[in-house]
Structure 1
Amino acid sequence: MSEPKRLILNLFEMNCVSHITHGLWRLPGNSRTRFNDIEYWTELAQLLEAGGFDAVFLADVIGAYDVFRGGPETAIREGLQIPSNDPMLVVPAMAAVTKNLAFGITFSTTYEPPFAFARRMSTLDHLTKGRVGWNIVTSYLPNAARNFGLTGEVDHDTRYEIADEYLDVLYKLWEGSWDDDAVIEDRERGVYADPSKIRYIDHEGPRFSVAGPHLSSPSLQRTPFLIQATQSSRGIEFAGRHAELIFTGGTSFEQVSGTIGRIRDELERQGRPRDAIKFVVGATVIVAATRAEAERKLAEYEEYASIDGVLAHASLPFDPTAHDSDITIGEALRREGRGDDVQAAFLPQDVTIADFLKNMKGFHRKPFMAVGSATEVADEIESWLDDHDIDGINLVQYHSYDTAKDFIEHAVPELRRRGRLREAYTPGETLRERVHGAGPRVAESHPAARFRGGRGLTAEEELVSAPASAAR
């Protein structure tokens, strides 16, 4: 009999007041407003490590949600991802008070150049001893584009073209610029690193020109563990080339399974194994000693939920709350003279305003939702793993820190009893080793591997020395 599939267990977080649980920062005892304090993050990290979590995943945005009602006012009132702080800067603090918890960090490839980011990630990989992953995003908010000097959002497919070259630059820096044995620490000869084993990358592409060499020496993983969230065709093509773990989701099990199947097909098309990517979904798990107590918590969360926050987060191009609840979305758009508006074409035209707002509330995040006792939620999670081809969950945090505490107190012991969670961490394990069970470096089938040892660099492989112009 085969071993049961082990659950990848992450906590879904963001360095802000309201991440994706809008209005719930007002809950009694919620610590969300402490997000500016370093103690919030160190306490959370210690709690998660004590509870056996694999990682805390930190989402991020680089713009305000200013589409709904024509401006950022609703998002600002709601604390909807504004104020929002840099996710990378809390990681060293969390790493310093833990030995095993890993960290997933979101960063966009669209607006900032790759060289400085490569050094920041290598630094984090060193400081965490290989416990860091990068969630690769291309940024979708119109305000993000304006924050970096553009007049409008970069086209979706163009963002992925930028990202492909961005990753090539990073791979050259992380994998190709330094040999494994470049650092020799020869105290007698006074040689820290061997210049003959460090090289420029001399990348010249349509969007980036990067000479190198990489400023950081090789870290445990070199290339941080690579994460992506996608469902689009272009995103799936990108994932098939780069990703090692995918955050995915959908409105039904069938939709999620279809996305996973398409990604596995893309992996095969790109010459990577069909199991080269693990799949993690955002999950609502509200667990307590009894089902009645769990349902009471759910009812409290629903009471505090803010529909305005949900609508602003969705960047809805019109305001359904301004219309009678019994008319349809289509009728409301026609009354506003927007019946042919392409921005609103994705909305369900025949659904009433009342039903639309009810569905948008966000707490019934089906299909990956479990509410009940430890036994009941463990049954659901096992079904997700065994019947729907997923490998793990990003636990949505409704209350900080009660969501994590409840899961640790009730669900973790039951999942361990069933063999779904490990009893203890493996000391010194990198994030890549933890998720895929192989070594700390990217697999040979991954495109980053083609630059190892300086192979495949776009220009002649120069040893590090003063450029000819500087020597004159």
Structure 2
Amino acid sequence: MTDPKRLILNLFEMNCVSHITHGLWRLPGNRRTEFNDIEYWTDLARQLEAGGFDAVFLADVVGAYDVFRGGPETAIREGLQIPSNDPLLVVPAMAAVTEHLGFGITFSTTYEPPFSFARRMSTLDHLTKGRVGWNIVTSYLPNAARNFGLDGEIDHDTRYEIAEEYLDVLYKLWEGSWDDDAIVEDREQGVYADPEKIRYINHRGPRYSVAGPHLSSPSRQRTPFLIQATQSSRGIEFAGRHAELIFTGGRSFEQVSGTIARIRDELERQGRARDDIKFVVGATVIVAATREEAEAKLAEYDRSASIDGVLAHASLPFDPTAHPGDITLGEALRREGRGDDLAAAFLPQEKTIAEFLSTMSGFHRQPFMAVGSPADVADEIESWLDEHDIDGINLVQYHSPDTASDFIEFAVPELRRRGRLREVYTPGETLRERVHGAGPRVAETHPAARFRGGRALDVAVESERLQPV
């Protein structure tokens, strides 16, 4: 009899007031408005480690949501990811008060050069003793492009082309610039590091020219644990080449399972094993001592939710709240002269405005949603693991700290009883070791491994990118 699949358990967070549960910062006792205070983050880190969480997953954006109603005003009023702070800077504080908790940090490949980011991530990997992962994103907000000197958003596939070269540079710095034994610490000879074992990378590519050497010495993982959020065809191709964990989702279990199957096929095409990637989904888990208490808490959240915040977050190109609830979405678009807009093609035009708004109010919940007693939610989570090919969840914060506190008090003991969560941490393990159960470094089949020991640093960028491992 095989052991039950263990749940990868992360908390989904962001360094802001309103992340993805809009309007709920107003709830009594919610500490969301304390995000500027270091104590918010250190208290959260201690709480999560006490509850056996694998990591805290920190989202980020580098622009404001300014599509809905033609500007950022709605997002600003709602505190919708503005104001927001850099996610990287809270990690050392959380790491200082924990020994085991991992950190998944979102950073975009599109707008900032790779050399300085490589050093920041190596520094964090040193300071955390290998507990950091990087959520690779390419940024999607039009305002983000304008913040970095561009007139408009770079198209989707071009952003992934940029990301390919960006990672080539990072892999060369992290894996190829320093040998494992470059640090000698010879006090008698006065030699700290051997210059024969440290090298320039001399990257010359279509977008980047980076000489090196990497300024940080090799950290526990060297290349941080690599995470990606994707569903698109181009993103799946990129994930098959680079990712070690995927944060995915969809409107149905079937859609999620289909995406996972496509990624596994792409892994195989890229010369990697079909199980080289773990899959986590955003999950709503509202748990209490009884189902009735959990449902009452969810009802309270529903009453406090802001539909304006949801619509602004979705960057909806028109305002359905300006129309009567009993007309269809298609009719509302036609009244605005927008029936043929490209954006309109993706909207359920047959639904009434009222139906559409009721759907949007819970847009981040389905299909991975569990509400009830400890046994109720454990049953649901087990079905996700066993029937839908996922490996873990990013627990959505509805209330800080109640969401995590309730999960730790009620769900964690039940999941441990069923063998779905570890009882204790393994001392000294890196985030990669925890998630994949192998060593602290990327696998030999991963493209980053090509550069170990300075190998392949002089291979042309185009051939590196186009040839499978």
Question: Per the shorter chain, which TM-score range?
Answer: over 0.9
1:113 pairs with 2:110: no
Who is 1:104 aligned against?
104
For 1:367 and 1:343, how far apart are their aligned partners in 2? Answer: 24
For 1:440 and 1:140, how far apart are their aligned partners in 2? Answer: 31
What is the identity, as a one-letter code, of the residue corresponding to 2:333? L
Who is 1:420 aligned against?
420
For 1:157 and 1:267, how far apart are their aligned partners in 2? Answer: 19
Who is 2:397 aligned against?
397
Who is 2:268 aligned against?
268
Who is 2:62 aligned against?
62
SS in 2 for 1:105: strand
1:318 pairs with 2:318: yes
What is the identity, as a one-letter code, of the residue corresponding to 2:91? V
For 1:458 and 1:116, how far apart are their aligned partners in 2? Answer: 21
Task: Normalising by structure 1, report the TM-score.
Answer: 0.97
For 1:319 and 1:272, how far apart are their aligned partners in 2? Answer: 45
What is the identity, as a one-letter code, of the residue corresponding to 1:321? T
Who is 1:147 aligned against?
147
Who is 1:224 aligned against?
224
Query: Contact between 1:107 and 1:136, CA under 8 Å: does it hold in 2?
Result: yes
For 1:327 and 1:376, how far apart are their aligned partners in 2? Answer: 38
1:360 pairs with 2:360: yes
Distance verdict in 2 for CA 1:306–1:407, change over 3 Å: same
Compute the displacement of 1:342 (Å). Answer: 1.4
Which runs of no fewer than 5 residues in structure 2 stay unpaired? 461-469
SS in 1 for 2:420: coil
For 1:425 and 1:220, how far apart are their aligned partners in 2? Answer: 18
SS in 2 for 1:184: strand
Who is 1:125 aligned against?
125
Who is 1:162 aligned against?
162
RMSD: 0.8
SS in 2 for 1:185: strand
For 2:218 and 2:315, how far apart are their aligned partners in 1? Answer: 41
SS in 1 for 2:346: coil
For 1:351 and 1:362, how far apart are their aligned partners in 2? Answer: 16
For 2:351 and 2:285, how far apart are their aligned partners in 1? Answer: 28
Compute the displacement of 1:457 (Å). Answer: 0.3
Compute the displacement of 1:344 (Å). Answer: 2.1
For 2:364 and 2:349, how far apart are their aligned partners in 1? Answer: 22
Who is 1:378 aligned against?
378
Query: Contact between 1:283 and 1:393, CA under 8 Å: does it hold in 2?
Result: yes
For 2:368 and 2:161, how far apart are their aligned partners in 1? Answer: 32
Compute the displacement of 1:339 (Å). Answer: 1.2
Who is 1:439 aligned against?
439
Task: Normalising by structure 2, report the TM-score.
Answer: 0.97
Distance verdict in 2 for CA 1:6–1:459, change over 3 Å: closer
SS in 1 for 2:266: helix
Compute the displacement of 1:364 (Å). Answer: 6.7
Which runs of no fewer than 5 residues in structure 1 stay unpaired? 461-472
For 1:309 and 1:398, how far apart are their aligned partners in 2? Answer: 14
Query: Contact between 1:184 and 1:194, CA under 8 Å: does it hold in 2?
Result: yes
1:250 pairs with 2:250: yes
Q: Deviations over 1:196-235 (max 9, x none)?
A: 0000000000010000000000000000000000000000
Within 5 Å, which residues of 2 pair with 1:25-64?
A: 25-64=25-64
Q: Deviations over 1:146-172 (max 9, x none)?
A: 000000000100000000000000000
Q: Deviations over 1:123-149 (max 9, x none)?
A: 000000000000000000000000000
SS in 1 for 2:100: coil
Query: Contact between 1:203 and 1:459, CA under 8 Å: does it hold in 2?
Result: no
1:12 pairs with 2:12: yes
Q: Deviations over 1:325-345 (max 9, x none)?
A: 000111001101111111222
Who is 2:241 aligned against?
241
1:206 pairs with 2:206: yes
Who is 1:463 aligned against?
none
Who is 1:469 aligned against?
none
Compute the displacement of 1:366 (Å). Answer: 1.2
Who is 2:333 aligned against?
333
What is the identity, as a one-letter code, of the residue corresponding to 1:348? P
For 1:125 and 1:307, how far apart are their aligned partners in 2? Answer: 39
Q: Deviations over 1:104-138 (max 9, x none)?
A: 00000000000000000000000000000000000
Who is 1:458 aligned against?
458
What is the identity, as a one-letter code, of the residue corresponding to 2:211? A
What is the identity, as a one-letter code, of the residue corresponding to 2:279? F
For 1:453 and 1:203, how far apart are their aligned partners in 2? Answer: 16
Compute the displacement of 1:349 (Å). Answer: 1.0
What is the identity, as a one-letter code, of the residue corresponding to 1:19? H
Who is 2:185 aligned against?
185
Who is 2:465 aligned against?
none
For 2:144 and 2:367, how far apart are their aligned partners in 1? Answer: 31
Query: Contact between 1:145 and 1:154, CA under 8 Å: does it hold in 2?
Result: yes
What is the identity, as a one-letter code, of the residue corresponding to 1:112? E
For 1:262 and 1:408, how far apart are their aligned partners in 2? Answer: 34
For 1:213 and 1:379, how far apart are their aligned partners in 2? Answer: 51
Task: Name the % identity.
Answer: 87
Distance verdict in 2 for CA 1:363–1:320, change over 3 Å: closer
1:71 pairs with 2:75: no
For 2:252 and 2:174, how far apart are their aligned partners in 1? Answer: 39
Q: Deviations over 1:239-294 (max 9, x none)?
A: 00000000000111000000000000000000000000000000000000000000
What is the identity, as a one-letter code, of the residue corresponding to 1:249? G
Compute the displacement of 1:459 (Å). Answer: 6.5
For 1:255 and 1:226, how far apart are their aligned partners in 2? Answer: 23
For 1:426 and 1:270, how far apart are their aligned partners in 2? Answer: 32
Compute the displacement of 1:458 (Å). Answer: 2.3
For 1:341 and 1:140, how far apart are their aligned partners in 2? Answer: 19
SS in 2 for 1:292: helix
For 1:106 and 1:362, how far apart are their aligned partners in 2? Answer: 24
Q: Deviations over 1:59-104 (max 9, x none)?
A: 0000000000000000000000000000000000000000000000
Compute the displacement of 1:15 (Å). Answer: 0.1
Within 5 Å, which residues of 2 pair with 1:334-353?
A: 334-353=334-353
What is the identity, as a one-letter code, of the residue corresponding to 2:59? A
1:22 pairs with 2:22: yes
4+ runs deviating over 4 angstroms: none
Q: What is the total number of aligned residue pairs between the two structures?
A: 460
SS in 1 for 2:105: strand
